[in-house]
Structure formats: structure tokens, C-alpha cells
Amino acid sequence: MAKDLDVVDIKEVLIKGWRKILFTTLIFTLSILIISLIVPRTYETKAVIQLGSIYNKGVYDTFEAKNIFLSTEIIQPIITKYYEGDDADYQNFVDEKIDVELVSESYGYQQTGLVPFLRITLRADDTDKSKEMIDEMVNAFIEKGNKEIKNEEDAFTREYLQYKDKYIQEKDAALKVAEEDYNNTIETTNVQYDIGVKKTQEEMLERELRIKNLEADLEKMTSEVERVDMVSSDPSYIGRVALLKTLLEDSKSRLNQEQNLLIGLKSSLGNMERGYKKVISTAEIKYAREKKSALSTYEKYMLDNEVKYEKNKNSIKKFLVSIDAQKPKTYKYPNIALNIVISVFTGLFLGSIWALIAQEKKRKPR
């Protein structure tokens, strides 16, 4: 047959078979038109909800957002409000009247980021009804998100305040220990220093008194030696002069010893004062260091906790901010004009095939 058709004048066949082509086209067109008019119209409304970055954990995991949107909590109130009888069936509504898709778009350098969306398609028998239903479902989904956000924020706030109280208590305890240690060191050092100074000063006074007495005795002895020495030619005074001179030298030695001891006490007092200042300075440095350490640790913990708190808050807020329900776009089908165009082309094609087959049969010998 293919070989015979190669020599057939297609144009002639189509012209001669125009009645068949027209008949087929009219039959298909009228049939489709009647079906389109009989079948109830369905209006399709679409909306998109942006869920936020897939790398930032929000109120919902992006992969469970679809299930949440299709949950009875979101869907059942819509069914109850807009449908009655057998139409008010949750499973039928989910299977036949709504489609929810999780899609994503790439962004950023080398398109490594992903922003997920929920694409919702709703079918209803009225365009206004379709728009109202999808708006109410999106609003219910967002309202649920707001509640979850509030719960998450409250949880983060409680955790933040607990950690804040804990850090404040730890800081105050560390500061208290450092302050008590410092005060104890200062108090102990002051007591020891006061005792040491008092004892040294008393000993210095005692030495000064001895020196004063020794100087007085030495002055008397010197006068006596000089007086006796003037009459030293008298044999009876020779032994006494020698004894006085020996006592004089002994007194000078004792005076020198007491003076050296007094100098040592004064030096000891100076060393004691320097040691006291050093201990006080060391205690102050230690206290300042421990105080700084406690405050810096507290500030670090608080900063880390505040950063974590703000990050978590921003993460869940990002979900709310990024939600964007686009203005629903409504489509209606069956689309009569489109169906007529399709039926015309289908009728022309099938009519042409019919005409070619009829012409081929005529050409075959009986």
C-alpha cells in the first residue's frame, strides 16, 4: 500500500475527499463542544509559599512542610466550610482537588544554595471559591507557623535566661571567692605587718634607750679616766686607771654593737615595709586577674549564648519573613476554545486518513 501511495496525487485525494474530511472534523468538533458544555467547569488556582533557605532550620523541616500543609488541621476546616455530603471527604479532597509540591531554586555562587517552595494547586467549581479556599489554607499554614515560631522563641528565651542566670551566678561566685581571698590576704598581711612593725619599733626603742644609757655611762667613764689619768703618777691609781680604760673600751664596744643592732632593726623595718607592699601588690594583681578572668569568662559565655540566641531567633524568624503567598492565578478547564482547536486539527487529520484509505480502495481492482 505504501508503494501505491507514493504515486497517488495527495492533493487530488484531499480535494476529492473534502466531504469526508469536513464530516469527520464537524463530528469531532461538535462532540468535543458538547462534552465541554456538559462537563462541569473546574477552576484551578495556584499559589507558592517560600519556606526559606534549606540550610537554615526553620519552624518546619522543609521536607515535612508538604505533609503539614496537607494535614487535617489545615485541610479539614476548608472541607467542612465549602463542601457537603459525599464531597466533604478528606481523602477525596486530597486525592482529587489539591496538589502540593515541594520544589526548590538554586542561588548564590555556583548555585550551591537552595530555596525551597511549596507549590499549591487547588481545583474547585467556582473561581472565587477556589481563591478563597487557597487563601484560607495558606493563612492557616502561616498562622500555624506563627504559633510554632512563638513556641520556639519562648523556648529559646527560657533557655537563654537559664544560661544567663547560670553565668551570672558563676561569675558572682568567682568574684566572691576572689574578693574573699584578696580580703583575707590583705587582712592577714596587715595583722602580720602591724605585729612585726610594733615588735621591731619596741626593740628599736629599747636599743635606743640602751645606746643612750651607754653613751651617758661612756661619757662619765671618759671623764673619770681623764681625771684619774691626770694623777696617774700616783702608784695607787695605776691599777684603777687600767681598769677604767678596760671598762671604757668595753662600753665603746657595747655601744658600737647596740648601734649596729639599731641599724639592723631599721633595715629590717624597711625590708618589712617593702615586703608588705610586695604582698599587697601581688594580692591586688591576683585579685584583678581573677576578677578580669571571671568577668571575661562571663562575657564570653554571654556573648556566645547571645549569638546562639539571636541566631536561633533569626533562623525561625527567617521562616516567617520568607513566607510569601503569591496572588493566586486561576485557570479554568475544560478550555472550550482550546478543545475546539484540538478537535479541528484532529478531525482534519483523521478525515484525511479516511479519504486516503477510501481512494486507495477505489484504485484496487475488484
CATH 1.10.287 in the chain is located at 160-317
Report, as an integer, the average pLDDT of 28-46.
Answer: 73
In tens, the pLDDT along 224-276 reads: 777 766 655 555 656 666 776 787 788 788 888 888 888 888 888 888 888 88
| Predicted confidence (pLDDT) at residue 157 exceeds the cutoff of 60 | yes
**Reported CATH class of domain 160-317:** mainly alpha
Confidence of residue 76 (pLDDT cuts 50, 70, 90): very high
Question: Contact 301/167 with Cβ under 8 angstroms?
Answer: yes
Q: Grid cell 639599731 — which residue?
A: 262
User: 13-17, 184-188, 349-353: which range is least confident on average?
Assistant: 13-17
Distance CA 47, CA 329 (A): 7
Distance CA 223, CA 239 (A): 17
Say which residue, 232 or 102, is predicted with more confidence.
Answer: 102
Name the architecture of domain 21-26+40-157+322-350.
2-Layer Sandwich (3.30)
In tens, the pLDDT along 293-346 reads: 888 877 777 777 777 777 666 655 544 444 444 444 555 545 566 666 776 777
- Residue 142: what pLDDT? 80
Q: Left, alpha or beta for 184 (phi > 0: left; psi -120 to 50: alpha)?
A: alpha
CATH 3.30.70 in the chain is located at 21-26+40-157+322-350
String of b and e for 279-295 (b: at least 16 CB within 10 Å)?
A: bbeebeeebeebbeebe
